[in-house]
Amino acid sequence: MKRVKDRGGFIFVEALIASGVFVVVGGAVVSLFIYGSNLWQLVITQNELRSGASTAIYQMTKDLQNATPRASPSSPPPSLTIPTSSSITFYLPDPTNAIRTNADGSSDWDLTPIQYQYVPASKQLSRSTPDVSKVICNNVASVKFEDSVVNTSLPSDELKIILKVEKNTLMGIKSTTVTSIIKLRN
């Protein structure tokens, strides 16, 4: 009887097992890559949200530190007013024409009204003056302004801002809330 020489190749079962191992390992690598990409996108989204909210809080803090607190809910200008919890109006000295002389000879500050307002339909927080209106934060879910009239636990010279931003991602809705307490000018 003649013997068949071993050709040194894989038999069908070995090739099938090798293919199965390759598919399992390849699937694990692809799965890790997809998870890593989603996680990376989540971190980028959270950083964008935090950065946008922090920039808006900084801008509002800078402006509001020079605002006059309101004495009562119906205080007239130049007092700070909060007509709704999602908007605020206050007055700052106009840097181009800071002091004006009244008819009686007294002088006072020439004031510029500034309003921060949350627009739910566009999810934006805007800053408006008589001359210009600009968006200072996008992806806003809510904003709330509180002073001692709205929140009696706050001193009369402090204002609290609660800004919540959120964005849809592949991993669901991600949100960040930034809170700031601002000391107002006397």
Q: What is the pLDDT of residues 52-87, one digit of tens each?
A: 999 999 999 988 887 766 554 554 555 677 777 788
The answer to whether position 9 is within a domain reads no
> What is the residue-averaged pLDDT of the chain?
82
Q: Say if 67 falls within a structural domain.
A: yes
Alpha carbon 123 to chain centroid, angstroms: 10
Range of the domain at 68: 38-91+117-183
125 part of a folded domain:
yes
> Has residue 101 been placed in a domain?
no
Flag whether 45 is in a domain. Answer: yes
**Domain contains 147:** yes
Instruction: State mean pLDDT over 135-140.
Output: 94
- pLDDT band for position 107 (50/70/90)? low
Residue-level pLDDT at 104: 67
Q: Which of 33-37, 63-67, 165-169 has the lowest mean pLDDT?
A: 63-67
| 5 domain residue, yes or no | no
Q: How many CB atoms lie within 10 A of CB 94?
A: 14
Stated pTM of the model: 0.72
pLDDT exceeds 90 at position 28: yes
pLDDT at residue number 77: 53
Average pLDDT over residues 12-32: 91
Q: Which residues pair with 176 in a beta bridge?
A: 165
Cβ(67)–Cβ(91) below 8 Å = yes
- CB burial of residue 167 (10 Å; 0-12, 13-18, 19+): middle
> How many domains, the chain?
1
